[in-house]
């Protein structure tokens, strides 16, 4: 049985609790958070504490706290020589305190508390400072996911950058589209099939091949009309920047 202590009670911890709880051979023996309120949303049967001095003995300690907090928090832990990992895409493993054995257990997905996920589909990107800890993290990762990869801190930084672009930026564009529709009393639901197809398409085509639209075709009149529709909108510059980026990307094809 792998015994786990989780630090934090946010999006990642709530999802890790759910998957670890239903996986045989894994037991979440405790969750620590600085305040009780956030802990109350976690499964009742799990032991919880707000005291950093009452942490139980476990095989692995997983810190799922904001990126800027991870380093100082790992220093504040009182035990030594245990395996302590964080779940961040952008924080180097070395940022963890030297008091304990270091590692990373980064689930590459966007987690929101009340939206379920299929953990088996989520790549687990891991790293550790010694081979036996890498082996242990692989064993843990393989229990919950079909895709477990060893990735260095340097590689993970680049992976996280791409993840921010394809997830956070794209989601922000959904918000822009949703606002434009709302201004015209149209439902965002009308766009859902298009959003799904756009996502599914890159499973079989490269993003370069999958691109469509006025900028890809260099339909100047359509682009001008859409810029005109946005003449008083705060999103006009965003439209112009994105259009120019796509025009630049496909320019050689159009003139060729």
Does residue 66 touch ligand NAP according to CB under 6 A? yes
Would you say 145 or 243 has its CB closer to ligand NAP? Answer: 145
Does residue 89 touch ligand NAP according to CB under 6 A? yes
Task: Give the number of other CB atoms < 10 A from CB of residue 174.
Answer: 12
Distance separating alpha carbons of residues 160 and 154, to the nearest angstrom: 10
Q: Rule CB under 6 A: choose which of 35, 45, 204, 212 binds ligand NAP.
A: 35
Run of H or E including 252: helix 236-255
| Binders in 155-214 for ligand NAP, by CB under 6 A | none
Would you say 164 or 205 has its CB closer to ligand NAP? Answer: 164
Distance separating alpha carbons of residues 55 and 49, to the nearest angstrom: 8
Does residue 111 touch ligand NAP according to CB under 6 A? yes
Does residue 145 touch ligand NAP according to CB under 6 A? no
Q: Nearest Cα to 14, choosing from 44, 43, 50, 48?
A: 43
C-beta of residue 124 within 8 angstroms of C-beta of residue 149 = yes
Q: Closest residue (Cβ) to ligand NAP?
A: 10
Least CB distance from residue 12 to ligand NAP, whole Å? 3
Q: Rule CB under 6 A: choose which of 74, 88, 100, 243 binds ligand NAP.
A: 88
Please give the structure tokens belonging to residue 127.
């790293």
Q: Nearest Cα to 27, choosing from 65, 56, 64, 70?
A: 56
Q: Which residues sit at the interface with ligand NAP, rule CB under 6 A?
A: 8-13, 33-35, 38, 64-67, 69, 73, 87-89, 107, 110-111
């Amino acid at each position: 049985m792998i015994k786990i202590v989780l630090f934090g009670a946010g999006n990642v911890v709530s999802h890790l609790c759910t998957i670890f709880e239903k996986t045989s051979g894994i037991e979440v023996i405790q969750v620590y958070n600085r305040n009780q309120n956030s802990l109350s949303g976690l499964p009742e049967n799990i032991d919880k504490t707000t005291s950093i001095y009452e942490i139980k003995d476990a095989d692995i300690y997983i810190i799922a706290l904001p990126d800027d907090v991870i380093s100082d928090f790992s220093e504040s832990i009182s035990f030594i020589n245990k395996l302590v990992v964080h779940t961040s895409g952008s924080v180097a493993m070395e940022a963890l305190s030297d008091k304990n054995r270091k590692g990373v257990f980064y689930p590459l997905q966007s987690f929101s508390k009340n939206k379920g996920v299929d953990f088996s589909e989520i790549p687990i990107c891991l790293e550790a400072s010694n081979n036996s800890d890498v082996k242990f993290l692989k064993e843990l990762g393989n229990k919950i996911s079909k895709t477990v990869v060893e990735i260095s801190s340097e590689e993970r930084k680049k992976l996280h950058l791409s993840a921010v672009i394809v997830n956070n930026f794209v989601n922000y564009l959904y918000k822009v589209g949703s606002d434009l529709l709302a201004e015209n009393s149209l439902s965002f639901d009308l766009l859902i099939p298009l959003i799904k197809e756009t996502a599914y398409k890159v499973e079989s085509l490269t993003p370069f091949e999958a691109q469509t639209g006025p900028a890809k075709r260099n339909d100047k009149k359509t682009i001008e009309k859409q810029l005109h529709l946005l003449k008083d909108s705060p999103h006009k510059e965003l439209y112009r920047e994105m259009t120019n980026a796509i025009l630049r990307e496909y320019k050689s094809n159009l003139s060729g």
